Chain A
Amino acid sequence: MNYIYDLHRTMMAQKLILVYEGDFTQETTKSILSMAERNLDSSGEDSGTKRKVFNVMVEALQNIVKHSSEQGLQVGSLISKSAIFMISKDDSRYCVMTGNPIAKGNVAKLTANLNDLNSKDKDGLKEMYKEIIKNTQISDKGGAGLGFVDMARKSGEKLEFTFANLDADFDFFCLKVNISREKE
């Protein structure tokens, strides 16, 4: 039973204010959002910071919901729909973090996309956003292809990411989006 205390200590040390692990749907998204929102409200967070955190949370959660459907089809696979969502908070910033399985075949493209985003400044991201929204069609999964661009814009910092090896077919995609609590 030591893991209970271990997990608790990890959460305290990493200053995690919310962790959700499991199946992600629009319903869980709404529940997580309302919990996180109550937390932000009760801590009296600055309204601008609050809106940015909320914004990043929505895009991060809906990304997982959209992409978990494909993995769920793998009957008998170790790769389930299971993913993780966390928020940490310290004196200077909030971090919205997600982890979810991704087919190895998609890793190169996602890496290139994220590196491309990270190479752009504020105006570059704005142009990219406008270019995509003009030309995009809503995908079968309901995405507009704008989620990461929007997260990068709201964060104002580089998106941190890494891939951990899961098995022959899947990696675990870890994403961290920082939102500063300090006013510009």
Chain B
Amino acid sequence: MEILNLKGTEDTPTILLDKKNGIFEISGRSLPEDSAEFYRPVLEWIGAYASDANPSTDFVFKLEYFNTASSKLILDVLSALEDIKGIKVLWYFHDDDEDMEEAGQEFSELVEIPFEFKTY
């Protein structure tokens, strides 16, 4: 499966989805002008991956900031991950960033995926 590798910018996150090496990560800042357009390839990649997933998938969110339009798309990403066997979300937040911690907790209440919370 092809690697999806998007380099982060000042308004879009870094995305690395690599089945072979078991790396699944969205990190940085997410406030694109068109969040649906930006996340489309991510959702497509996950859709393809879901039909032939690794035995276990640790999906990392290490976001510094995201806007509300991105939050809707993050929920779409999580929903797309929901049916994958062995899926786990690792939700990273700055140790003094309560809002990012709370955001992760809210997402965890909206989908049936185990979340592990980690600070960085």
Contacts and interface: CB of A to CB of B under 8 A. Distances in A.
A164 interface: no
13 contacts: A47-B97, A51-B65, A55-B65, A58-B65, A59-B67, A62-B67, A65-B33, A129-B106, A138-B35, A138-B69, A142-B33, A142-B36, A144-B69
Given A47-B96, A129-B106, A26 B71 contact: no
Contacts of A54: 65
A30 B31 CA distance: 10
Contacts of B68: 59, 143-144, 146-147, 149-150
B97 A48 contact: yes
A136 B72 contact: yes
Interface in A106-158: 126, 129-130, 133-134, 136, 138, 142-144, 146-147, 149-150, 154
| Interface secondary structure of B, over-half rule | helix
Contacts of A133: 71-72, 75, 110
Interface residues of A, number: 28
A34 interface: yes
Given A55-B65, A130-B110, A144-B68, A154 B99 contact: yes
Interface of B: 10-11, 31, 33-36, 65, 67-69, 71-73, 75, 94, 96-99, 106, 109-110
A58 B99 contact: no
B117 to A, nearest CB: 18
Contacts, number: 67
A67 interface: no
B72 A138 contact: yes
Contact of B99 (A51, A136, A138, A144): A51
Nearest to A149: B68
A52 interface: yes
Contacts of B72: 133, 136, 138, 144, 146
